[in-house]
Amino acid sequence: MDRRKFIRHSSLLGIVGTGLAACNVTDELFQTNEKCAPNILSFAERRHWLSSFSCNIEQWFRPIPFLDRINAAKALGFSAIEIWNPHQVKQGKSPNAIAQRAIDLNMRITSYSPGAPNFADPNNEKVFKRWLDVAIEAGKALNVSNFNLTGHKKIDGLTTQEMIKNYTRMLKWAAPRLESENMVATVEPYNPWNHKGHFIYGKEPALSICREVNSKSIKLNWDFFHMQRTNGNLITNLEEGFDQVEYIQLADAPGRNQPGSGEVAYGHILTRLRELGYQGFIGAEFFPKDKNALKAASDLAYLAKSVSLHPPRF
């Protein structure tokens, strides 16, 4: 999509969001067909209530060039974005290019996932140490102090306990370096339903690993979608692991779409999250249902409004 067409569609979205457009407006970029729909919040209200959330532009807006997705997130009312690996040139990604577009649009980047090697494998120790340098430099360019850490695929010939031991050992090695840079690596447990072949799923062993490392720079990315698919009992498990939580992501289950599309009572969860003292952004790492980004953003804003979710505090 060329830039003129993108700007035209972004402007149209703003008009639809404020309720000034006529009925039957169709927008090919955002996959909307709103007939004066009363359940779409105005742009001003969306922007206010989306202030707690960071839009994952890897899963939103996939038909358009990567950097233009930052524009799209802003057009919907988001003030922050999260990304995955910033070093993918073929997709138009580089830390400096992403950072510059975010600066130009006054958008904040809250998290990135720089594709960690499988460092539970002792053969990857040197690779991991070189990768850590690259990950830290990316964070400096992006002006983000925390990045997502996986690297926990199963390794043939090793037991689960051996993999956990190797993984923990490398985190203990990385912790002092990260502390000196005032950065945090957030271990992200997956779920066995759609992330097969890993050894870190749900609350454990991730929580025990972080407690053993015992560093302010090694914490958890607590993704409620993965936690629901693995453990359930979301509020109790959050309470038990909250001391190690650095970053939060969400998606409804089982479909990994926006809250309200599945079985998770996110109103109660987000209320408890703030009560526990989490003051940061909440990553909207989900696929908008039916590829309707405007509806997904409005649903997310309605959720925040329903529980008076206060914005991040720093």
Integer Cα distance of 186 and 47 in angstroms: 28
The two structure tokens encoding residue 212: 């053993």
Rg of the chain on CA atoms, in Å: 20
The rounded distance, in Å, linking the Cα atoms of 149 and 213 is 14
* Cα–Cα distance, 230 to 226 (Å, whole number): 6
Q: Domains in the chain and their CATH numbers?
A: 42-306 (3.20.20.150)
- Residue 28 token pair: 């090919």
Closest-CA residue to 35 (of 25, 44, 45): 25
Among all chains, which residue has been given the structure tokens 């926990």? 152
Q: Print pLDDT tens along the chain (314 aa).
A: 445 444 444 443 433 333 323 333 234 344 444 443 457 999 999 999 999 999 999 999 998 999 999 999 999 999 999 999 999 887 889 999 999 999 999 999 999 999 899 999 999 999 999 999 999 999 999 999 999 999 999 999 999 999 999 999 999 999 999 999 999 999 999 999 999 999 999 999 999 999 999 999 999 999 999 999 999 999 999 999 999 999 999 999 999 999 999 999 999 999 999 999 999 999 999 999 999 999 999 999 999 999 999 998 86
Q: How far apart are CA 110 and CA 112, in angstroms?
A: 7
Containing 275, the helix (H) or strand (E) segment is: helix 266-276
Q: Is the dihedral of CA 129, 195, 247, 163 positive or negative?
A: negative
